[in-house]
Amino acid sequence: MTQIISIANQKGGVGKTTTSVNLSAALAKIGKKILLVDCDSQANATTGMGIDKLSLEHSLYQGLIGEADINNIICPTMMPKLMMIPSDIDLIGFEIEMVSADDRVKKLKMLLEQVKEKFDYIIIDCPPALSLLTLNAFTASDAVLIPLQSEFYALEGLGQLLDTIKRVKSSFNPGLKIKGILLTMYDKRTNLAQQVVEDAKKYFKDMVFKTKIPRNVKLGEAPSYGLPAILYDKQSQGSKSYVAFAREFLKR
Ligand code: ADP
Ligand code: MG
């Protein structure tokens, strides 16, 4: 059975895109068939996978509004088992144009249903907002994975995110679950990072993944080469941590 996972947190810069790209690549490396969906108009996941967002003929936006067939939007990547639905700036229009459409929350679900069975996992990189696109991602998903940056204020705003998940669950998607909490940009030398881990565990107990993603230069550099970390520097701690995380993810 295909699992659809949203990677979400309305805060920017917490590691959503880094996690989407590197979890997708690590799962593909393990042999799973993956579709990575870039649901952010900033298109960082698209660029991070080496796809030129300025030269796309079709992107997620055209699929959502029914202007392009999903099979014409899905792109191959440098990894044979990893396919991608890229995004670009057009996606901004979706929020505005859909305000009065009755099924506006279900557009992504309807789109992905057409290709779902071809993949083991569909990973959706969400935008940094609890917007219509995020609601679409949650409505289409089996579960939400929440990256938490190991910094002060990490837990702030989480209540709103959890409320949104609850609302989508009761209105549109009764099966929606929380896949877990992933600590990102973790620096074990700082007391602050330890504190965030303790706080997260206090609230979320064993929903917090054991694997923590360290702050690692290679993870920051890889997107500028259009590569996931395992292709950029597979020996780096960042790359190894996402492979370890992918294995833990598969056991859940
Ligand atoms: P989001 O998608 O939540 O906005 P990103 O994944 O784009 O967050 O990460 C924000 C910035 O931090 C990016 O420049 C990214 O390359 C960098 N980054 C993310 N995770 C790490 C990490 N573990 N170590 C170092 N840099 C990271
Ligand atoms: Mg992002």
* pLDDT tens column, 78-97: 999 999 999 999 999 999 99
Residue 151: pLDDT band with limits 50, 70, 90: confident
Counting the structural domains of the chain, the total is 1
CATH number at residue 56: 3.40.50.300
Residue 153: pLDDT band with limits 50, 70, 90: confident
d(CA 45, CA 126): 10
159 Cα–ligand 2 center, Å: 20
**What is the 3 state secondary structure string of the chain?**
CCEEEEECCCCCCCCHHHHHHHHHHHHHHHCCCEEEEECCCCCHHHHHCCCCHHHCCCCHHHHHCCCCCHHHHCEECCCCCEEEECCCHHHHHHHHHCCCCCCHHHHHHHHHHCCHHHCCEEEEECCCCCCHHHHHHHHHCCEEEEEEECCCCCCCCHHHHHHHHHHHHHHCCCCCEEEEEEEECECCCCHHHHHHHHHHHHHHHHHECCCCCECCHHHHHHHHHCCCHHHHCCCCHHHHHHHHHHHHHHHC
pLDDT at 224 over 90: yes
pLDDT at 17 over 90: yes
170 Cα–ligand 1 center, Å: 32
Q: Which amino acid is at 205?
A: K
Atom 13 in ligand 1: residue holding the nearest Cα: 220
Pair type for strands 121-125 and 82-85: unpaired
pLDDT at residue 207, rounded to an integer = 96
Residues in contact with ligand 1 by the CB-under-6-Å rule are 12-18, 44, 128, 184-185, 213, 215-216, 219-220, 223, 238
Give percent of the chain with pLDDT exceeding 90: 95
Prediction ipTM score: 0.99
The domain in which residue 138 lies consists of: 3-251
pLDDT at residue 152, rounded to an integer = 81
| Stretch 10-21: mean pLDDT | 97
Residue 154: pLDDT band with limits 50, 70, 90: confident
Residue 197: pLDDT band with limits 50, 70, 90: very high
Closest ligand to C-alpha of residue 223 is 1
